[in-house]
Amino acid sequence: MRTTITLNDSIFHALKVRSAEAGESLSLFIEQALTAQLLEDAEDIEDAFSRKSQETALPFATLVAQFEADGLL
């Protein structure tokens, strides 16, 4: 798929240099960088959901009472 993105000139130049050093096309280099970032994000999200599933749920009234006791409400 083709797309157009707007990049800061300095970032574009750095990407061109890095992709040339790696012997890859600019498109492939950017695609690999984006894929790596998305995979890292997916791992972070999975980890967050895993931790969340281990949390104990508090009734809303208990939470409000805690906030009131702490002077937050």
Q: Domain coordinates of the chain in residue numbers?
A: 9-69
| Buried b or exposed e, range 30-65, using 16+ CB within 10 angstroms | beeeeeeeeeeeeeeeeeeeeeeeeeeeeeeeeeee
What's the rounded mean pLDDT across residues 48-63?
85
pLDDT tens digits, one per residue of 8-55: 999 999 999 999 999 999 999 999 999 999 888 888 888 888 888 788
pLDDT at res. 33: 93
pLDDT at res. 53: 79
pLDDT at res. 1: 84
